[in-house]
């Protein structure tokens, strides 16, 4: 077949110091088909665009006035190019000469292949960054054997997702499934895209001979950890809410929310004894429930029953109760606000703990949009969750190193039957095309 045309999109945000190595390596690709290098600039203010215009005049520049994030910046470029294939690469990478050639060679193997991810290594090639991607049940993206010198996973096979820092995808399919979700801004949008591709009936594959060298987190290292943590936690929740079927979401969603809250709790590490209240604790017992009808009013009720009947008495009682309860409700709300607000004492919380709570809040705020996206994703479903779960690799991995989290995670997995879901999927659908 004729070699497809390719647009290589290098996303950039104030990465001037990385661009010379990156763009020079892309210009030196051995790919025999037509290709063009595109700089997708996300509102840089460091002279990146001027450098490219001066030193790499053949590079096409697609420029946004503001930072659209990884998802938005790449989508903008993909919509504007006209190539058959779009290849995405980070600006802080150096591609080996056969990088693109090897990506396309795997992508064109079968008609159902939609996307291919290449191998990513560190700058000197001594350590692995990406040799295939999976996920936990709660949506955390996994890069197998990250940081290792070698990996048993480093062979051509089907994978859940291709890392957005080195991947190729048919442009028509990319646009068909909605591209990267721009609400993510950055992180896990490639996990979400890969999952959606599998749901839509396509495949994603790993190309081990396609290699780029990466200055790890050359861009994200300039962003505060607490801001990154919001994106990681929020986007993982976005991903599972949209992509699971009803049965799996019903089982996994409560665990994902509880685990996110537990991360915040463990990072704060409060003195739990200070909050304990039980049968042996000192203090008042539960307050008596308020009475809306006092015993001395029973004669009035009996008289009303004789005059108005049951229905009329009920309506009168409700009107009277409403008049009485409004001031009482106002007092209760004020009291509850004081209790919830904790006006008597405070404890410190690390910023990264607050990040988890803000992520949960953001999921709630975005629920109307998430529900609409979920309907759209499920409408294109051609594969079952049982078919896709084996691609996760390590679905029951806790993914958080704090002391006590593993046991908490294990408790939820067993109580909610998540281990059973994984066993069922492995039994019903062995990993396809491994």
The answer to whether residue 321 sits within a structural domain is no
What size, in residues, is the chain? 434
DSSP 57: T
For the stretch 261-285, pLDDT in tens is 999 999 999 988 888 876 655 544 4
Give exposure, 205-242, as e/b (b: 16+ Cβ within 10 Å): bbbbebbbbbbbebbeeeeeeeebbbbbbbbbbbbbbb
For the stretch 301-339, pLDDT in tens is 455 545 655 445 555 555 555 555 566 556 655 665 555
Q: What's the confidence (pLDDT) of residue 165?
A: 97
Q: Is 138 helix (H, G, I), strand (E, B) or coil?
A: coil
Strands 133-135 and 141-143 come out as: antiparallel
- Evaluate whether 324 touches 291 at the Cβ level (below 8 Å): no
- Band (pLDDT 50/70/90 cuts) for residue 142 is very high
Q: What's the confidence (pLDDT) of residue 251?
A: 97
What is the extent of the structural domain holding 104? 6-255+362-428
For the stretch 348-407, pLDDT in tens is 899 999 999 999 999 999 999 999 999 999 999 999 999 999 999 999 999 998 889 999
The answer to whether residue 14 sits within a structural domain is yes
The answer to whether residue 96 sits within a structural domain is yes
- Evaluate whether 176 touches 86 at the Cβ level (below 8 Å): no
- Evaluate whether 168 touches 104 at the Cβ level (below 8 Å): yes
The answer to whether residue 26 sits within a structural domain is yes
The answer to whether residue 342 sits within a structural domain is no
The answer to whether residue 297 sits within a structural domain is no
Give the number of domains in the chain.
1
Residue 392, domain CATH: 3.90.550.10
User: Rounded to two decimals, what is the model's pTM?
Assistant: 0.85
The answer to whether residue 51 sits within a structural domain is yes
- Which helix H or strand E contains 60, and what residues bound it? strand 60-64
The answer to whether residue 367 sits within a structural domain is yes
């Amino acid at each position: 077949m004729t070699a497809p045309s390719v647009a290589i999109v290098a996303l950039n945000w104030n990465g001037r110091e990385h661009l010379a190595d990156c763009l020079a390596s892309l210009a030196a690709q051995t790919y025999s088909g037509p290709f063009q290098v595109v700089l997708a600039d996300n509102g840089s203010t460091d002279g990146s665009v001027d450098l490219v215009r001066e030193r790499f005049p053949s590079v096409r520049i697609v420029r946004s006035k503001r930072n659209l994030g990884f998802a938005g910046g790449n989508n903008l470029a993909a919509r504007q190019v006209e190539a058959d294939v779009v290849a995405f690469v980070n600006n802080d990478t150096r591609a080996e000469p056969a990088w693109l050639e090897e990506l396309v060679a795997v992508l064109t193997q079968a008609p159902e292949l939609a996307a291919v991810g290449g191998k990513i290594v560190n700058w000197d090639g001594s350590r692995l960054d990406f040799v295939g991607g999976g996920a936990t049940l709660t949506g955390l993206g996994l890069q197998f054997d990250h940081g290792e010198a070698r990996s048993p996973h480093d062979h051509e096979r089907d994978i859940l997702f291709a890392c957005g820092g080195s991947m190729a995808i048919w442009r028509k399919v990319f646009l068909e499934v909605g591209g990267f979700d721009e609400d993510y801004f950055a992180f896990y949008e490639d996990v979400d895209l890969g999952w959606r591709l599998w749901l839509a009936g396509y495949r994603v594959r790993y190309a081990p001979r396609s290699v780029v060298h990466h200055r790890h987190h050359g861009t994200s290292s300039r962003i505060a950890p607490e801001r990154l943590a919001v994106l990681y936690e929020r986007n993982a929740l976005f991903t599972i809410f949209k992509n699971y079927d009803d049965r799996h979401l019903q089982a996994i969603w409560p665990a994902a929310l509880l685990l996110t809250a537990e991360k915040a709790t463990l990072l704060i590490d409060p003195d739990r004894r200070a909050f304990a209240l039980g049968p042996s604790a000192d203090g008042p017992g539960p307050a008596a429930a308020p009475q809306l009808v006092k015993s001395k009013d029973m004669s009035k009720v009996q008289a009303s029953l004789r005059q108005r009947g049951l229905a009329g008495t009920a309506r009168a009682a409700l009107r009277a109760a409403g008049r009485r309860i409004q001031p009482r409700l106002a007092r209760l709300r004020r009291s509850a606000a004081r209790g919830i607000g904790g006006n008597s004492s405070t404890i410190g919380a690390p910023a990264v703990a607050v990040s988890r709570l803000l992520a949960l809040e953001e999921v709630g705020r975005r629920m109307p949009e998430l529900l609409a996206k979920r309907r759209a994703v499920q409408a294109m479903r051609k594969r079952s969750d049982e078919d896709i779960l084996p691609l996760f690799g390590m679905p029951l991995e806790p993914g958080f190193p704090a002391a006590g989290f593993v046991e908490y995670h294990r408790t939820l997995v067993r109580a909610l039957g998540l281990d059973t879901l994984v066993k069922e999927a492995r039994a019903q659908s062995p990993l396809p095309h491994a």
